[in-house]
């Protein structure tokens, strides 16, 4: 499988061009699937701009462009984007599974929204200003990589959805993300490894990276993403990772900012999933606490 890391801008057309280059690279390496980050379609400087960019799946040039590319290259694509929720006057933070035939076969809408105020780093973000909460945990998707459980970014801080997906048969969990640098430095790897260990599953985390442009040409927005996309195996080992922000000039509190991302390739070994689950059996005490289903 291929895992891509990119720096989305407020331009869906520009972001589509970047994503299509990853599709071609993944297809050339005969990857079984391509995983793209949360918000691959756009990251905008404010809620109003974000809402103006949200388009229905059926008419979005970004989504339809990826569907056509999946069909052309016979490559399944997992990608985060933002269809509108007209009833709420907001949009959904959504994860799509696009089949090798170019059809959207599964969608997941983010359950937990990122509303934070970090005094130490002067970071304030309120995702709920423009995004509506998703209604449910979706069943795992049957893929060539195994049964895939779909979650998004901030969901990783809540073990319950991943445990529900594990109960429903998931062998691989995906967390496409756009972590901030302060939260990424402190928690990103720890959380991903914890979810892998708790569920004895692979965890695939494609991440946004760098400073996201403002609408003005040549400008830079306030939003900066951590990067460090990674894949964790069911034993909790990080088997592949990319770089990101927070690696350089940490003393000055600065990063590269203009990192344009990259791609990693990794094998998913379902035999390892079976072996870990067989050798370290997690027998839950559902006579003492409720089972998550």
pLDDT recorded at residue 41 = 99
Of the candidates 112, 12, 25, 22, which has an alpha carbon nearest to the alpha carbon of residue 63? 12
pLDDT recorded at residue 261 = 82
* Contact in structure between 78 and 97 (CB atoms under 8 Å): yes
pTM, two decimal places: 0.94
Pairing of strands 202-205, 146-150: unpaired
Of 78, 110, 127, 138, the catalytic one is: 110
pLDDT recorded at residue 220 = 57
Of 19, 67, 78, 153, the catalytic one is: 153
> Is 147 annotated in the active site?
no
Of 38, 81, 138, 245, the catalytic one is: 38
pLDDT recorded at residue 252 = 43
* Contact in structure between 227 and 208 (CB atoms under 8 Å): yes
* Contact in structure between 20 and 73 (CB atoms under 8 Å): no
Of the candidates 185, 183, 180, 50, which has an alpha carbon nearest to the alpha carbon of residue 128? 50
Instruction: Give me the CATH topology for the region 2-279.
Output: Nitrilase/N-carbamoyl-D-aminoacid amidohydrolase (3.60.110)
Residue 68 CB: number of other CB atoms within 10 A? Answer: 14
* Angle subtended by helix axes 61-73 and 12-28, to nearest 10: 10
Q: Which tokens in the block code for residue 17?
A: 């061009």
Of the candidates 26, 53, 20, 21, which has an alpha carbon nearest to the alpha carbon of residue 39? 53
> Is 78 annotated in the active site?
no
Residue 208 to residues 7, 15, 88, 228: CA-CA distances in angstroms?
A: 5, 12, 27, 8
Instruction: For 200-242, give the DSSP string.
Output: TSEEEE-BBEEEEE-SSTT-EEEEEEEB--EEE-TTS-EEEE-
In sequence order, what are the beta bridge partners of 21? none
From first to last of its 293 residues, what are the pLDDT tens digits of the chain?
999 999 999 999 999 999 999 999 999 999 999 999 999 999 999 999 999 999 999 999 999 999 999 999 999 999 999 999 988 999 999 999 999 999 999 999 999 999 999 888 888 899 999 999 999 999 999 999 999 999 999 999 999 999 999 999 999 999 999 999 999 999 999 999 999 999 999 999 999 999 987 655 555 567 899 999 999 999 999 999 999 997 654 444 445 556 668 999 999 999 999 999 999 999 999 999 999 99
> Is 19 annotated in the active site?
no
């Amino acid at each position: 499988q291929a895992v891509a890391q990119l720096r989305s801008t407020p331009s869906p057309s520009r972001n589509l061009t970047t994503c299509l280059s990853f599709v071609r690279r993944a297809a050339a390496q005969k990857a079984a699937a391509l995983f793209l980050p949360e918000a691959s379609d756009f990251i905008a400087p404010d809620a109003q701009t974000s809402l103006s960019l949200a388009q229905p799946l059926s008419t979005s040039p970004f989504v339809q462009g990826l569907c056509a590319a999946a069909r052309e290259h016979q490559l399944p694509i997992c990608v985060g984007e933002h269809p509108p929720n007209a009833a709420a006057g907001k949009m959904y933070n959504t994860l799509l599974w696009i089949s090798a035939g170019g059809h959207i076969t599964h969608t997941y809408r983010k359950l937990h929204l990122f509303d934070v105020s970090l005094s130490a780093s002067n970071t304030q973000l309120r995702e709920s200003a423009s995004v509506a909460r998703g209604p449910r945990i979706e069943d795992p998707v049957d893929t060539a990589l195994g049964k895939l459980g779909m979650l998004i970014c901030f969901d990783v801080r809540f073990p319950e959805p991943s445990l529900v997906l594990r109960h429903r048969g998931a062998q691989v969990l995906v967390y496409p993300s756009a972590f901030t640098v302060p939260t990424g430095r402190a928690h990103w790897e720890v959380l991903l490894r914890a979810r892998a260990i708790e569920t004895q599953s692979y965890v695939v985390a494609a991440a946004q990276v760098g400073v996201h442009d403002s609408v003005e040409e040549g400008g830079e927005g306030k939003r900066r993403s951590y990067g460090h996309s990674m894949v964790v195996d069911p034993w909790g080992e990080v088997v592949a990772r990319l770089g990101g922000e927070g690696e350089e000039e940490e003393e000055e509190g600065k990063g590269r900012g203009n990192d344009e991302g990259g791609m990693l390739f990794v094998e998913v070994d379902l035999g390892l999933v079976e072996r870990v689950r067989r050798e370290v059996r997690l027998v839950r005490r559902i006579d003492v606490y409720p089972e998550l289903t």
